Structure 1
Amino acid sequence: MSFSWLMMERVVHLGAGLVVGLWVARHLGPEQQGLLSYVLAYSVLATPLLTLGINAIVAREIVRHPEDEGRILGAAVGLRMVGALLSAVLCWGIALWLNPGNTTLAFYVALVNAAWAIGALRVVQFWFQAHYIPRNMTIAMMVVSLSFAMLRIGLILLNAPLGAFVYAAAGEIAVFGIAGLAAYLHTASAIRWRWHMPTARGLLRNSWMLAVSELPAVVYLKIDILMLAHTRTASEVGHYAAAARLSEAWYVLPIVFASAILPRLISLRDQDHGRYNQRLQEAYDLLACGAMLVAMTTTVLADDIISFLLGPAYAPSALILIIHIWAGVFMSMRALLAQWLIAEDLYVFSIVTQSCGALINIALNLILIPSLGGTGAAMATVVSYAVASFGALFLSRRTRPAGDMMVRALFWPLRIASVLRTLRRSL
């Protein structure tokens, strides 16, 4: 039941965000959409500072020390508020340095990051997870997602300018935090949080490595937007951002699939290692098959998809989409690899492989973006995903078995029977 509520919230949030986000892109046009994407990219790149890696350990600490949950939540919220304010100042300075004289753009960047000071209240979601009672929290989050989707639709109908959508983005972040607090009060009846310095130090001691490990992942996500913005035009950023959003829209599916089969895999690993490896191979086959079918379909229909969803102004996005969609083949297998690394207690390799991919991504963007623009950024994304999720696995004997499975998965038509068998078993 807990999983169902969490999945429902994710589907509503991502679904509403995708549909309305595409409508917003069509309304703003490539240049203004490029500026909006640029502003929002800063808060993604600042994620390690915004969260301080605390998200991953709050629920665990509450489960281990339920008597201290007031101190844990108080320290977590306080630390994240400080992180948000530091992020706002830092990103404002960077944006002003990179865009001399453009104080409005720097203000927008600072505003979105500062909103996380209130959005930090959303850390209560981990209290709900620790107590296995996500219902009130997920309902609150879904209400906020749908409300701000309606607000954005209203702004489109009113022909609102770029600034209105920046304020909407900042407002949504803040209201998510307020809604989380309201759900907590409805469930827990009273706030018993308090700042406790030793608890805060303990959280940071346990989370700083997680914060560092988040950096390569966020580089993947948004560094291309910033590099495009400072070497090409805002319109090209808009074309690329729109194509990337469409390309990444289905990424939640392999993540959900991999998370769902993890308990079964761990159980099999302890009972029958041969069957464990067989099930892993079948899962990789299924993920590669699904991703390739999505990529091939999108490659054929890219022009029609862009024209229908975004209009003729985004015609250059079609070629970017055709290239970028193939990153999904490696990303989908990466979703299972992440679970395998956890099961095998090889988490450090996740940081290593992500770092390799991030460095290659930056290097290729520096080479390709000046001459090829968004098309070059898409190429860099595909290659860096392939390196981080596939190629880097062959650098160590301990991760090579996963790399071998991925090689076989890429030739899934030769094992179509196992693909169908896995699909039937997972339904």
Structure 2
Amino acid sequence: MKNLSWLFFEKILRIISGVFVGALVARYLGPNNFGVFSYSQSLVILVSSIASLGLDGIVFRELVRNRDKVKDIVATCSALKMLGFVLMTIAITFYFLLFKNELDIENLVYIIAISYFFQSLNTIDLYFQSERKNDISVAFKVLGLFLSILFKISLIYFNAPLVYFGWTLVLESAITYIGLSFAFFNRRLDIKGTLHFNLTLALEFLKNSWPLIFTGAVVMVQARIDQVMLKHYLGDYEVGLYSSSLKIVEMFAFLPLILKTAFYPKISLRWHEDKEENKRVMLDYYRLNFLIFLITGFSLLLLSSYIISILYGNEFKGAGILLALMSFRLFFTNFGVSRSIFILNENMLKYSFFTEGVGTIINIILNVIFIPKFGAIGAILTTFVSYAFSIFIIDLISSPTRDNALLMLKSIFSFWKCNFKGFLN
């Protein structure tokens, strides 16, 4: 529980700082430059699954199971991720050959991408997590975040140009993962200088991880393609308004993840014991997530204009209506996260990839149609449609998931019946 608390502390601190420090940066940059910065980040995130190569979950599992092979696992995974960084950089270059951008934007994208070079060392972070030493990981992550925040504030104070804000991401990543590397070698002096790349292990990792690369890519595209397409159709200003609203919504999207982390082990332990009991527990779990949406979503809906005005100022007042509409994104986020417990326990990861893939294709097609006509509002509405297909509609059509989909719908119309006491037990 102590280790879990460290992780929650870091995540919550990162989300809160992301909103409030992000608001300071947005106020300084203005909607246009903030739009450029957000677009550049989104473009890198779109191809970030190439850099990670889908290895994290697999490597974490191997670190837990094979403690005698730590040096091989760390060295091999780090080398693979450095290769992934090179491939990601090539993908970005290929994108710029297809879709020409301003030179300043291209430079900013490459600078932000450098942060993923240092993230190739995150295998060491996974090692500390496997050893239940989350306090060490969190300490360096918080240090990197804190120094990055100071750097951003300094840039604002000295009226620095936009491109320097890309280096704040590199600084945070470098401090975090170089610091973790020093901690790793200081704690395991017996393996210092003996790390070596294991080709057999590398091939085994890639054999198991390639489906996760595509899954990660689909998830990232569905989450970030809106900002990239808004940039190409309407320009930086619209992206700036859209991104400012999205950052606020993402802060509340952490709540269902907390619930999942807290209750997933309990639900999973008795998953195959009693199907009727599973349905009752999942129904209450869905009701609880819908109740959280009602509280957070409608609060954002009612206070959207005030929130934008207070955080971002009058330059971003056009984002008020976007935040009001985007508050309903939490409905799909809450059900998407809670639904994943069913997907994981039923071992339906390939099916999940299919539903997310369909949702992503729908999102892209509808964005092409609606963004030119309705701008950022069109992007928000098409996201709702794509999530509706990914989370509800396909599940209702598919017989293995139909009962669970009906439970989700039932929870919406009976949320007040949530049995908190029975659910927690």
* Same fold flag (TM > 0.5): yes
Where does residue 264 of structure 2 map in the other structure? Answer: 262
Could you say what the CA RMSD is over the residues aligned between the two structures, in angstroms?
Answer: 1.7
* 4+ long deviations beyond 3 Å: 189-192, 419-423
CA separation in 2, counterparts of 1:270 and 1:315? 51
Contact 2:242/2:319 (<8 A) preserved: yes
Contact 1:96/1:103 (<8 A) preserved: no
Greater alpha carbon shift after TM alignment, 370-379 vs 64-73:
64-73
CA separation in 1, counterparts of 2:285 and 2:179? 38
- In the alignment, is residue 170 of structure 1 matched against residue 150 of structure 2? no
Give the SS at the match of 2:330: helix
Q: CA deviation at 1:419?
A: 5.3
For this pair of structures, how many residues does the alignment match?
422
TM-score norm. by structure 2 comes to 0.95
Q: Deviations over 1:318-338 (max 9, x none)?
A: 111111110110111111111
Where does residue 384 of structure 1 map in the other structure? Answer: 386
CA separation in 2, counterparts of 1:202 and 1:94? 30
Which amino acid in structure 1 is aligned with residue 78 of structure 2? V
Residue among 296, 306, 309 paired with 1:307: 309
Which amino acid in structure 2 is aligned with residue 107 of structure 1? N
Where does residue 85 of structure 1 map in the other structure? Answer: 86
Give the SS at the match of 1:398: helix
Contact 1:140/1:179 (<8 A) preserved: yes
Q: CA deviation at 1:272?
A: 3.0
Where does residue 126 of structure 1 map in the other structure? Answer: 126
Which amino acid in structure 1 is aligned with residue 58 of structure 2? I
Where does residue 326 of structure 1 map in the other structure? Answer: 328
Output aligned runs, 1:25-174, within 5 Å.
25-100=26-101, 102-174=102-174
Contact 2:143/2:176 (<8 A) preserved: no
Contact 2:140/2:175 (<8 A) preserved: no
Where does residue 347 of structure 1 map in the other structure? Answer: 349
Q: Deviations over 1:97-150 (max 9, x none)?
A: 4225x2232122122223312221122111112222222111111111122112
Q: CA deviation at 1:81?
A: 0.7
Give the SS at the match of 2:399: coil
- In the alignment, is residue 17 of structure 1 matched against residue 42 of structure 2? no
CA separation in 1, counterparts of 2:71 and 2:346? 34
Contact 1:87/1:114 (<8 A) preserved: no
TM-score norm. by structure 1 comes to 0.94
Q: CA deviation at 1:406?
A: 1.0
Contact 1:286/1:422 (<8 A) preserved: no
Q: Deviations over 1:392-421 (max 9, x none)?
A: 211211111221111112213xx4132554
Give the SS at the match of 1:390: helix
Q: Deviations over 1:68-122 (max 9, x none)?
A: 221111111001111112212321342354225x223212212222331222112
Output aligned runs, 1:156-235, within 5 Å.
156-189=156-189, 190-191=191-192, 192-235=194-237
Contact 1:144/1:176 (<8 A) preserved: yes
Contact 1:92/1:107 (<8 A) preserved: no
Q: Identity percentage over the alignment?
A: 25
Contact 1:354/1:388 (<8 A) preserved: yes
Q: CA deviation at 1:182?
A: 2.4
Q: Return closer, same or farther for 1:169/1:422 CA change in 2, 3 Å cut-off.
A: farther
Q: CA deviation at 1:56?
A: 1.3
Give the SS at the match of 1:160: coil
Q: CA deviation at 1:249?
A: 1.4
CA separation in 2, counterparts of 1:303 and 1:18? 16
Contact 1:281/1:405 (<8 A) preserved: yes
**Residue segments in structure 1 that go unaligned for 5+ positions in a row:** none
- In the alignment, is residue 8 of structure 1 matched against residue 13 of structure 2? no
